[in-house]
Structure 1
Amino acid sequence: MSQGVEFNRLMLEMRSMQADAMVRQKPVASTPEPGAPSFSEMLGQAVGKVNETQQASSQLSTAFEMGTSGVDLTDVMIASQKASVSFQAMTQVRNKLVQAYQDIMQMPV
């Protein structure tokens, strides 16, 4: 049950990030808002969060394997699944970006 809750929370975070990105969108002709993160910064932050999630999962797994008290197997499995889902989501975003780039490059000029 808690895996479903964690998955739902992760999906809500992703939707929140998507909504933030959509709110920040401006017409191409306008100048960027001062202090607003660029696309590359937002992508870098997302990759950083995925990396942090994977590192936390790895540390929790290592702690469980070493027999550290207070580390529960369910917490390890939830962290592992969260890291897996976030990595899969990032991979899908990368695939969409590559496909969009290829589509643009194949457009007639």
Structure 2
Amino acid sequence: MDTKGIEQMLSVLRSTATQASGNVQESGPANAGGVDFAQVLQNSIDKVNQTQKQADQMAEKLAAGDTSQNLHEVMIALQTASVSFQEMVQVRNKLVTAYQDVMNMQV
């Protein structure tokens, strides 16, 4: 399972939390090459969607009697899609919690 996108997302969240806590760093040329949070999030969602579509296609082919589909591989693909979706839901839950925490901060 590729966790690069999630690690990037977590690093963005950590830097945002650091800035929100008052330890604001200068945003200059050193931060200009930073990661676009929206793009990382969109790429992660697209990858989960692609994994689910691929697993569904494999399952449909197996159900249709395609002999090139191995039951073992189909089950692994379906489980991988399920785990990646659950992971995405947990990241979403953390983002919502972080948003609610920021909105509840007193200024």
What TM-score do the two structures reach when normalised by structure 2?
0.76
Return the alpha-carbon distance in structure 2 between the equivalents of residues 20 and 107 of structure 1. Answer: 25
Specify which structure has the bigger relative contact order, considering alpha-carbon pairs within 8 angstroms and separated by 6 or more residues.
Answer: 1
Divergent runs of 4+, >3 A: 16-23, 25-29
Query: What amino acid maps onto 1:71 in structure 2?
Result: Q
**Pair 29,89 (structure 1): closer, same or farther in 2 beyond 3 Å:** same
Return the alpha-carbon distance in structure 1 between the equivalents of residues 45 and 36 of structure 2. Answer: 14
Tell me which of 30, 33, 39 is aligned to 2:27: 30
Deviation at 1:33, TM superposition (A): 2.7
**Deviation string for 1:23-67 (max 9, x for gaps)?**
9x6975314535x54100000000000000000000000000001
Runs (5+) with no aligned partner, structure 1:
1-9
Return the alpha-carbon distance in structure 1 between the equivalents of residues 51 and 70 of structure 2. Answer: 17
Return the alpha-carbon distance in structure 2 between the equivalents of residues 66 and 98 of structure 1. Answer: 41
Q: Does 1:98 align with 2:96?
A: yes
How many residues are paired up? 95
**Greater Rg by CA:** 2
Runs (5+) with no aligned partner, structure 2:
17-23
Return the alpha-carbon distance in structure 2 between the equivalents of residues 43 and 17 of structure 1. Answer: 8
Return the alpha-carbon distance in structure 2 between the equivalents of residues 91 and 58 of structure 1. Answer: 19
What TM-score do the two structures reach when normalised by structure 1?
0.75
Deviation at 1:69, TM superposition (A): 1.6
| Partner in structure 1 of residue 5 of structure 2 | 17
The alignment's C-alpha RMSD in Å is 2.3
